[in-house]
């Protein structure tokens, strides 16, 4: 829950604050998901003509994988077997042929759930020194909250704003040395593309990280939920792929958990709670306990599993729905790329505002250079300066942005985060309002 | 040694470096016997010859898996929510459509695909509060006390997380019934909490004796800090339905001993035996007057997985929190935010469960018909199971007053006990494994739930369709007789 929601009761009533997904407009893949799920929920629709034939067929096939033909049954712990297999096929396709094994995949109610389960295995509550996990700064608070709620400590490594929020190896080394002195560091958490940073790691950077975790004996946690959103000439490479392509011994030894989800990407079906983790090079003896841990949760919600299946198996060339799907996906990508361009242009044209290039992900995270008077005013009101800015922005211009203090930032710096996955006209509207607010605000506090 | 003569590198994450508490986790309902059952299913499908034609999974409380039909109205509304175009279709009844519209309006972007607030959709929590008030004869319920969860299990584990702290003698102890649903023991093991067993009385139909609670508590106080008391009503695996007096006694006990009460009430509609009624802990607490209702801390849990709905795959549930310290409640709210939000279809389904068709509405008659039929069939199967199992020499089954399981006591011959122990197996696991291999019937051994030393049980669901259940019971009878002979 955003800090703003705690402060302003009206904000609590605002629905759907965090994320307005571009794909929430009617589009082909969204509609197909809706149709398939409807038929799975009410199987009388499978035999009626209210829905297109391919949606009905898909529903029938999926229901065949459900025990008793019902989405109301429990599934196997790791998920419906056919779906888990198709996830591994998706991963192999995505990673240019790098093999993926279904036994290493668990579907969960969202990626954070799986991350918490894996962290639970990693965090040694009985050890004499507290378990530590290295996490990026800035980062979404959910990750550090998961870590601390398990009794471990999140050790930040600072991303370098001047280098477009890149991960710096010297910073990783520094953070680890710091952690070693006081705690028992066991894992490194990375999120690529970044949230809120919008940074997309280069292959070289990822290779450096892999060498680092290997040398320093850390488990690598790779959060890749924004993998469908990369812009410009940037390319998403999965940690699994980069690792595999580095060859042995690293490829056979570095222990990795990669996370993905239906909540982001083109589907944006966060409410269905569908995600998965793929485990690489994990000790088979430990895998037994990972199974036990997941089995306590029974299984992921079936509709979330179905949505995951649909997301990872979109229409392929040759399918009747492919042309329309292709056009729509391209349009979305173009629109978002345009949003990114416009957001950076506009923000960078405003004095007191500076945005690093948004290479990927769902957000822009520009830096605010607030006048001393504004900082003073915020202090008097008992809130962080960027919180004060965001609250004013919301109350006066109806734009929701979350303050940088929620993500962590270098002392004395301020930022805001806003979503760029909106329809283009919404983006223009947002930028227009942000411009007029910002200009006025800077004037008022000059 | 690898090919080039280098010693293979030790892994970072091994069973020695991993969280030691997770190693203690056992969850029998999805444990080794089920894994073997899945293997057998695979072998059967590959054409391997077996002494049976199919594997029957009578281990898990999954009604739809065993052929129980979903409630038509619920699925219609959910289909409409999923694909709102269908709101234009004349074959869907108007009341389903108006429910769907209401649910969609309360979802961000009018879509079940949007994240909801972490505590759950406001209007659903309000409807849950309304249901609780009606169910409990007017006892007020504050929607702010309602947390929607990913199945009841999620709520239970979250509460336990909040409750467990301390070290050594101050380590939190949690009282759980023996036998119990193994989520509790697994969660306590994982949290490194102290499990405090109180034994239900098998001779008295699995009733709860306060003297036994006291014994367990007094003993536990010597080595830990008991803080919570968990009770499952109707019971799992035992099926007993607590009397009102018993519930009052438990509340008085919790008040006197300052224990946080956790009332797992997911089977609240599954009450079959004559003279048995479901009394919610909340209702009884409030009817005991302010001395108790203002002080006793209580969390009650419900779910969409059981009762007449059987919608396990939706992972829908809620918990109601009573008299929790406001600062702790703030921490609870923060804790649930780590999950982001519970599955929205599950929330929508819970909304329908607490807000079903009303008299006069188009779907009412059919809804009542379906619900009554489902519950009646379960009641018949509960009775049938008890009857048949009690005709078997060496099997003794208490009346299945509620829930979805029978938990009969079985006599295992000494020879079998010895063979099991020699193989490092619990005797009832040995028995159940043999049954699985010979009949294809998958049950869960009583050792997975806890039982008095020297006694053995199995848990079998009453869920298979009646004719299949009859065959199942016959096969269990035959197996038991054969097994007893074989090891006599």
pLDDT, tens only, A383-393: 999 999 999 99
Residue B441 · residue B435 · CB < 8 Å: yes
| Pick among B3, B8, B315, B350 to test the A interface (most A CBs inside 10 A) | B315
| Pick among A17, A50, A271, A295 to test the B interface (most B CBs inside 10 A) | A271
pLDDT of residue B289: 97
| Mean pLDDT within B437-466 | 97
Residue A212 · residue A174 · CB < 8 Å: no
Å from A444 to nearest chain B CA?
35
pLDDT of residue A18: 41
Tell whether B350 and B400 lie within a shared domain: no
| Mean pLDDT within A208-231 | 97
Give chain A positions within 8 Å (CB) of B89.
Answer: 50
Residue B367 · residue B73 · CB < 8 Å: yes
CA dist A357 and A341 (Å) reads 9
Å from A372 to nearest chain B CA?
33
CA dist B320 and B144 (Å) reads 9
Å from A234 to nearest chain B CA?
28
CA dist A96 and B11 (Å) reads 27
Q: Determine, for residues A123 and B19 on separate chains, whether the beta-carbon distance falls below 8 Å.
A: yes
A211 and chain B in contact, CB less than 8 A:
no
The pTM (predicted TM-score) of the whole model is 0.94
CA dist A174 and A189 (Å) reads 15
pLDDT of residue A19: 41
Tell whether B392 and B449 lie within a shared domain: yes
The distance of Cα B375 from the centroid of its chain, to the nearest Å, equals 17
Q: Which structural domain, as residue segments, surrounds residue B183? A: 115-354
Give chain B positions within 8 Å (CB) of A304.
Answer: 343
Structural domains of chain A sorted by starting position, each given as residue range(s) with its CATH number in brackets = 4-23+324-444 (3.90.1150.10), 60-312 (3.40.640.10)
Closest residue by Cα to residue B238 from B275, B198, B211, B210: B198
Residue B301 · residue B231 · CB < 8 Å: no
Cα→Cα distances B472→A29, B216, B466, Å? 45, 38, 10
Give chain A positions within 8 Å (CB) of B346.
Answer: 301
Lowest mean pLDDT across B1-15, B52-66, B433-447: B1-15
Burial of A239 (0-12, 13-18, 19+ CB in 10 A): buried
| Pick among B2, B39, B343 to test the A interface (most A CBs inside 10 A) | B343
Residue B404 · residue B378 · CB < 8 Å: yes
Residue B150 forms beta bridges with which residues?
Answer: B316
Closest residue by Cα to residue A60 from A47, A77, A74: A47
pLDDT of residue A29: 74
Closest Cβ opposite residue B345 in set A12, A125, A272: A272
Closest Cβ opposite residue B65 in set A67, A120, A283: A67
Q: Determine, for residues A142 and B338 on separate chains, whether the beta-carbon distance falls below 8 Å.
A: yes
A9 and chain B in contact, CB less than 8 A:
no
Q: Determine, for residues B345 and A34 on separate chains, whether the beta-carbon distance falls below 8 Å.
A: no
Closest Cβ opposite residue A68 in set B66, B338, B344: B66
Å from B68 to nearest chain A CA?
9
Tell whether B320 and B378 lie within a shared domain: no
Tell whether B292 and B329 lie within a shared domain: yes
A20 and chain B in contact, CB less than 8 A:
yes
Tell whether B122 and B230 lie within a shared domain: yes
Q: Is residue B229 situated within a structural domain? A: yes
Q: Is residue B9 situated within a structural domain? A: no
Tell whether B345 and B397 lie within a shared domain: no
- Would you say the C-alpha torsion B285, B289, B291, B293 has a positive or negative sign? positive
DSSP tag of B114: S
Å from B108 to nearest chain A CA?
5
Tell whether B29 and B166 lie within a shared domain: no
Q: Determine, for residues B22 and A45 on separate chains, whether the beta-carbon distance falls below 8 Å.
A: no
Å from B45 to nearest chain A CA?
14
**Hunting for tokens 């986790």 — which residue is that?**
B25
Q: Is residue B80 situated within a structural domain? A: no
Indicate whether this complex's ipTM tops 0.90. yes
Q: Determine, for residues B12 and A299 on separate chains, whether the beta-carbon distance falls below 8 Å.
A: no
Range A161-164, long-range pairs (CB < 8 A, 24+ positions): A161/A356, A161/A367, A161/A410, A161/A413, A164/A199, A164/A356, A164/A357, A164/A359
Q: Is residue B416 situated within a structural domain? A: yes
Whether a cis peptide bond, with omega within 30° of 0, leads into B237 is yes
Interstrand relation of B409-410 and B395-396 (parallel, antiparallel or unpaired): antiparallel
Q: Output phi, psi for A266, to 5 deg.
A: -75, -20
Å from A153 to nearest chain B CA?
15
Q: Determine, for residues A68 and B341 on separate chains, whether the beta-carbon distance falls below 8 Å.
A: no
Give chain A positions within 8 Å (CB) of B150.
Answer: 109, 273, 297, 301
Tell whether B125 and B250 lie within a shared domain: yes
Q: Which of B354, B388, B412 delimits the end of a domain?
A: B354
| Mean pLDDT within B144-162 | 97
Give chain B positions within 8 Å (CB) of A12.
Answer: 117
pLDDT, tens only, A138-195: 999 999 999 999 999 999 999 999 999 999 999 999 999 999 989 999 999 999 999 9
Q: How confident is the model at residue A404 (pLDDT cuts 50, 70, 90)?
A: very high
| Mean pLDDT within B130-148 | 98
The distance of Cα A383 from the centroid of its chain, to the nearest Å, equals 28
Q: Is residue B150 situated within a structural domain? A: yes
Q: Which of B294, B327, B354 delimits the end of a domain?
A: B354
| Pick among B2, B79, B123 to test the A interface (most A CBs inside 10 A) | B79
| Mean pLDDT within A50-59 | 90
Closest Cβ opposite residue A255 in set B12, B65, B91: B12
- Tokens (6 digits) for B481: 């007789």
Helix axes A322-349, A424-444, angle to 10 degrees: 10
CA dist B63 and B375 (Å) reads 12
Q: Output phi, psi for B474, to 5 deg.
A: -60, -45
Instruction: List, in sequence order, the alpha helices (H) in B136-274.
Output: 151-163, 183-191, 210-221, 244-257
CA dist A298 and B446 (Å) reads 19
Q: Is residue B422 situated within a structural domain? A: yes
CA dist B296 and B279 (Å) reads 17
Closest residue by Cα to residue A283 from B11, B103, B297, B81: B11
A182 and chain B in contact, CB less than 8 A:
no
CATH number of the domain that B52 lies in?
3.90.1150.10
Q: Is residue B160 situated within a structural domain? A: yes
Whether a cis peptide bond, with omega within 30° of 0, leads into A249 is yes
A107 SS3 class: strand
CATH number of the domain that B214 lies in?
3.40.640.10
Q: Determine, for residues A72 and B311 on separate chains, whether the beta-carbon distance falls below 8 Å.
A: yes
Tell whether B222 and B327 lie within a shared domain: yes
Q: CB within 8 A of B145, min separation 6: which ones?
A: B129, B320, B321, B322
Residue that wins the pLDDT comparison between A100 and A54: A100
Closest Cβ opposite residue A38 in set B83, B161, B192: B83
Closest Cβ opposite residue A124 in set B17, B70, B76: B17
Q: Which of B354, B382, B412 delimits the end of a domain?
A: B354
Å from A326 to nearest chain B CA?
22
CA dist A186 and B281 (Å) reads 44
Tell whether B379 and B349 lie within a shared domain: no
Tell whether B304 and B396 lie within a shared domain: no
Closest residue by Cα to residue A275 from A224, A341, A215: A224
Q: Determine, for residues A273 and B89 on separate chains, whether the beta-carbon distance falls below 8 Å.
A: no
Q: CB within 8 A of B48, min separation 6: which ones?
A: none
Whether a cis peptide bond, with omega within 30° of 0, leads into B234 is yes
Å from A270 to nearest chain B CA?
5
Residue A15 has pLDDT above 50, yes or no: no
Closest Cβ opposite residue B83 in set A15, A35, A120: A35
Q: Output phi, psi for A196, to 5 deg.
A: -90, 5
Tell whether B454 and B320 lie within a shared domain: no
What H or E segment, with its residue span, contains residue A193?
A: none
DSSP string, A197-218: T-----HHHHHHHHHHHHHHT-
Residue A1 · residue B332 · CB < 8 Å: no
Number of domains in chain B: 2
Cα→Cα distances A282→B10, B351, B438, Å? 11, 41, 36
Q: How many helices (H) and strands (E) does chain B have?
A: 17, 14
The answer for A 217-236 residues in CB contact with B (under 8 A) is: 217-219
Q: Is residue B89 situated within a structural domain? A: no
Residue A105 has pLDDT above 50, yes or no: yes
Instruction: Pick the residue from chain A with its C-alpha nearest to B35.
Output: A76
Instruction: Pick the residue from chain B with its C-alpha nearest to A3.
Output: B334
A265 and chain B in contact, CB less than 8 A:
no
A-B CB pairs within 8 A amount to 244
Closest residue by Cα to residue A172 from A135, A221, A220: A135
Closest Cβ opposite residue B313 in set A48, A283, A302: A302
pLDDT of residue A314: 85
pLDDT, tens only, B363-420: 999 999 999 999 999 999 999 999 999 999 999 999 999 999 999 999 999 999 999 9
The answer for A 299-318 residues in CB contact with B (under 8 A) is: 299-304, 307
Residue A54 has pLDDT above 90, yes or no: no
Å from A15 to nearest chain B CA?
5
pLDDT of residue A14: 47
pLDDT of residue A17: 40
DSSP string, A393-421: HHHHH----EEGGGT---TT-EEEEEE--
pLDDT, tens only, A317-354: 887 778 888 888 888 889 999 999 999 999 999 999 99
Residue A155 · residue A322 · CB < 8 Å: no
């Amino acid at each position: 829950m955003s800090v703003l929601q705690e402060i302003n009761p009206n904000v609590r009533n605002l629905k759907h604050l965090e994320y307005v997904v571009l794909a929430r407009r009617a589009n082909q893949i969204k509609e197909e998901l809706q149709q398939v799920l409807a038929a799975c929920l009410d199987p009388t629709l499978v035999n009626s003509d209210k829905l297109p034939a391919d949606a009905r067929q898909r529903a029938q096939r999926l229901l065949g994988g459900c025990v008793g033909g019902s989405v109301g049954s429990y599934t196997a712990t790791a998920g419906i077997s056919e779906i888990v297999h198709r996830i591994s096929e998706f991963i192999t396709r995505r990673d240019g042929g790098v093999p993926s094994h279904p036994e290493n995949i668990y579907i969960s109610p969202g990626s954070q759930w799986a991350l918490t389960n894996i962290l639970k295995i990693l965090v040694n509550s009985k050890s004499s020194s507290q378990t530590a996990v290295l996490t990026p700064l800035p980062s979404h608070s959910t990750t550090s909250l998961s870590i601390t709620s398990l009794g471990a400590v999140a050790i930040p490594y600072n991303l370098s704003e001047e280098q477009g929020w890149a991960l710096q190896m010297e910073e990783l080394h520094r953070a680890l040395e710091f952690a070693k002195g006081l705690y028992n560091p066991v894992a490194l958490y990375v999120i690529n593309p970044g949230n809120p940073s919008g940074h997309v790691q280069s292959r070289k950077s990822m290779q450096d990280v892999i060498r680092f975790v290997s040398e320093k004996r850390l488990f690598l946690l790779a959060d890749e939920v924004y993998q469908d959103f990369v812009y410009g000439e940037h390319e998403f490479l999965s940690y699994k792929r980069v690792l595999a392509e580095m060859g042995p011994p690293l490829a056979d030894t570095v222990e990795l958990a990669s996370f993905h989800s239906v909540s982001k990407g083109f589907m944006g079906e966060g409410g269905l709670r569908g995600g998965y983790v793929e485990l690489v090079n994990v000790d088979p003896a430990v895998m037994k306990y990972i199974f036990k841990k997941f089995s306590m949760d029974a299984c992921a919600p079936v509709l979330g599993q179905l949505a995951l299946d649909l997301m990872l198996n979109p229409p392929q060339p040759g399918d009747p729905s492919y042309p329309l799907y292709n056009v729509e996906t391209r349009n979305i990508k173009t629109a978002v790329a345009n949003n990114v361009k416009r957001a950076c242009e506009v923000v960078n044209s405003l004095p007191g505002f500076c945005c690093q290039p948004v290479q990927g992900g769902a957000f822009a995270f520009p830096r605010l250079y607030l006048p001393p008077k504004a900082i003073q005013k915020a202090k008097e009101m008992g809130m962080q300066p960027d919180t004060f800015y965001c609250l004013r922005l919301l109350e006066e211009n109806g734009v929701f942005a979350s303050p940088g203090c929620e993500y962590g930032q270098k002392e004395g710096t301020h930022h805001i985060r806003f979503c760029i996955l909106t329809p283009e006209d919404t983006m223009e509207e947002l930028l227009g309002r942000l411009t007029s607010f910002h200009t006025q605000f800077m004037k008022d506090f000059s | 040694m690898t090919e080039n003569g280098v010693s293979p590198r030790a892994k970072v994450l091994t069973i020695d470096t991993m969280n030691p508490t997770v190693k203690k986790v056992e969850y029998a309902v999805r444990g080794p016997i089920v894994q073997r059952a899945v293997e057998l299913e695979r072998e059967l499908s590959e054409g391997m010859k077996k002494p049976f034609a199919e594997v029957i999974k009578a281990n898990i409380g999954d009604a739809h898996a065993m052929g129980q039909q979903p409630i038509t109205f619920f699925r219609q509304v959910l289909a409409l929510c999923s694909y709102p175009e269908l709101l234009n279709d004349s074959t869907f009844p108007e009341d389903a459509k108006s429910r769907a519209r209401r649910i969609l309006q309360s979802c961000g972007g009018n879509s079940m695909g949007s994240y909801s607030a972490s505590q759950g959709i406001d209007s659903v929590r309000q409807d849950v509060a309304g249901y609780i008030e009606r169910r409990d004869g007017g006892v007020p319920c504050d929607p702010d006390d309602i947390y929607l969860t990913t199945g009841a299990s999620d709520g239970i584990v979250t509460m336990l997380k909040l409750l467990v702290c301390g070290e050594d003698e101050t380590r939190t102890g949690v009282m759980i019934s023996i036998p119990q649903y193994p989520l509790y023991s697994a969660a306590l093991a994982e949290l490194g909490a102290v499990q405090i067993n109180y034994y239900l009385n098998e001779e008295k139909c699995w009733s709860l004796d306060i003297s036994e609670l006291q014994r367990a508590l007094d003993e536990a106080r010597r080595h830990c800090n008991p803080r919570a008391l968990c009770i499952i009503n109707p019971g799992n695996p035992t099926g007993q339905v607590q009397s009102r007096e018993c519930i009052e006694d438990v509340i008085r006990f919790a008040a006197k001993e300052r224990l946080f009460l956790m009332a797992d009430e997911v089977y609240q509609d599954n009450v079959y035996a004559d003279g048995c009624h479901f009394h919610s802990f909340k209702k009884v607490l409030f009817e005991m007057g302010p001395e108790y209702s203002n002080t006793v801390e209580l969390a009650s849990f419900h779910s969409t997985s059981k009762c007449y709905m059987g919608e396990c795959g939706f992972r829908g549930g809620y918990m109601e929190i009573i008299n929790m310290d406001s600062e702790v409640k703030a921490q609870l709210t923060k804790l649930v935010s780590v999950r982001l939000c519970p599955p929205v279809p599950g929330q929508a389904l819970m909304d329908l469960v607490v807000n079903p068709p009303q008299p006069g509405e188009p779907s009412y008659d059919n809804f009542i018909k379906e619900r009554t039929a489902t519950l009646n069939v379960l009641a018949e199967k509960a009775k049938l199971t008890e009857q048949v199992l009690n005709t078997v020499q060496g099997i003794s089954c208490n009346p299945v007053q509620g829930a979805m399981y029978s938990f009969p006591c079985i006599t295992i011959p000494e020879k079998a006990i010895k063979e099991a122990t020699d193989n490092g197996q619990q005797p009832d696991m040995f028995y159940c494994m043999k049954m699985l291999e010979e009949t294809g019937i998958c049950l869960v051994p009583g050792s997975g739930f806890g039982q008095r030393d020297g006694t053995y049980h199995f848990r079998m669901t009453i869920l298979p369709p009646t004719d299949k259940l009859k065959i199942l019971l016959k096969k269990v009878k035959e197996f038991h007789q054969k097994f007893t002979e074989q090891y006599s």
